Amino acid sequence: MARLPKNEEVGSKQFADFDLGGKTFIVTGGARGLGLALAEGLVEAGGRVYCIDIAEEPDEEWKVAQKRVNPAWGGRLEYRQQDVCDTENLSRIIEETADENQQLNGVIAAAGVNQVTPAIEYSAQDASKLLAINLTAVLETASSAAKMMIKYKCGGSICLIASMSGLVANKGMKSPVYNASKAALIQLAKNLAMEWSLPKDESTPGIRVNCISPGHIITPMVEENFRQQPELKDLWRKENMMGRLARPDEFKGAALFLLSNASSFMTGSNIVIDGGHTAW
Ligand SMILES: NC(=O)c1ccc[n+]([C@@H]2O[C@H](COP(=O)([O-])OP(=O)(O)OC[C@H]3O[C@@H](n4cnc5c(N)ncnc54)[C@H](O)[C@@H]3O)[C@@H](O)[C@H]2O)c1
């Protein structure tokens, strides 16, 4: 049986399997919050990272992160303004990014929104709007990226940001469509993994697809939940085994793992990181 090629640098370089030097990545929803923290993690490992977000200007925290980039480590943080629901232009930006770099090695689909509305009051229009961002645009992001990974025969890794909300109903938060969209992403990752993980031919490696499902993280999205329902802060803290909410940077390691060679045999999986919230 043919042996798979090994990373030549293992044993001669620290953390060689996590090295993203010379590689190109896209992070949707990367203007702030979780997407930005994950993007920064990839940059620290040497990756060239393009954040795509609807915000005309990235948040101040993005600008601070860009100033922190250490050029000596080889990474770069770029910003492209784009609504992920405008799928034609989203595909164009993904294609331009791949063409400019002659490769695309990984994507994190983190753009997402939440709407807290009881199911019985949810309008069909609002439900379609949320699903267009949280589900359809994620499929579009992943498909456009996969086309480029096939075009440039570079293989790649795609990480969908789902949520523990795709596994449980969050106590106190009436967000039926959001939760359903996250459950859909966990399933979507499995289907995309089934379609794309196998190498296409000798020279076209497969594309791995996985999810990260975070628990409650303090980001602008959750701060908005707390503005609407201040009692959620304490309730959610008590719901996990660690008695606190997460910081966005606590997910960087998992994203780096998924987008690097370190997870080369992992596809179709969902990494749940929730301080034990769903474990009891
Ligand atoms: N914060 C949490 O507790 C939590 C938990 C689990 C999963 N998540 C998921 O993590 C991801 C990031 O969320 P966050 O908490 O950092 O929230 P956030 O609101 O801070 O960040 C979301 C980003 O997505 C961008 N975005 C929204 N709609 C877009 C569109 N149409 N086109 C392009 N960009 C768009 C926003 O501008 C924003 O920068 C989301 O998918 C969210 O569902 C968050």
| Nearest C-alpha neighbor of 39 from the set 90, 10, 76 | 76
d(CA 240, CA 169): 14
**Residue 261: both structure tokens together:** 């060679």
- Strand bridging mode 76-81 / 207-214: unpaired
- Threshold 0.75, pTM exceeds: yes
| Nearest C-alpha neighbor of 32 from the set 1, 5, 56, 6 | 56
Residue 34 CA, closest ligand 1 atom number:
16
Q: What is the pLDDT of residues 178-220, one digit of tens each?
A: 999 999 999 999 999 999 999 999 999 999 999 999 999 999 9
Does ligand 1 come within 6 angstroms of the Cβ of 55? yes
d(CA 165, CA 155): 30
Which residue has its alpha carbon closest to ligand 1 atom 18?
A: 221
Distances (CA, A) of 102 to 8, 93, 94, 197: 22, 14, 12, 21
The CATH code that applies to domain 20-217+249-273 is 3.40.50.720
Does ligand 1 come within 6 angstroms of the Cβ of 30? no
Does ligand 1 come within 6 angstroms of the Cβ of 273? no
**Residue 198: both structure tokens together:** 């196998």
Catalytic residue numbers read: 178, 182
3-state secondary structure at position 78 = strand
Residue 133 CA, closest ligand 1 atom number:
31
In eight-state DSSP terms, residue 121 is: G
Domain coordinates of the chain in residue numbers? 20-217+249-273
Does ligand 1 come within 6 angstroms of the Cβ of 258? no
Which DSSP string corresponds to 163-183?
A: -GGGTSPPTT---HHHHHHHH
Q: What is the pLDDT of residues 25-71, one digit of tens each?
A: 999 999 999 999 999 999 999 999 999 999 999 999 999 999 999 99
Does ligand 1 come within 6 angstroms of the Cβ of 218? no
Distance from Cα 252 to the centre of ligand 1, integer Å? 15
Residue 30 CA, closest ligand 1 atom number:
39
Q: What is the pLDDT of residues 114-165, one digit of tens each?
A: 999 999 999 999 999 999 999 999 999 999 999 999 999 999 999 999 999 9
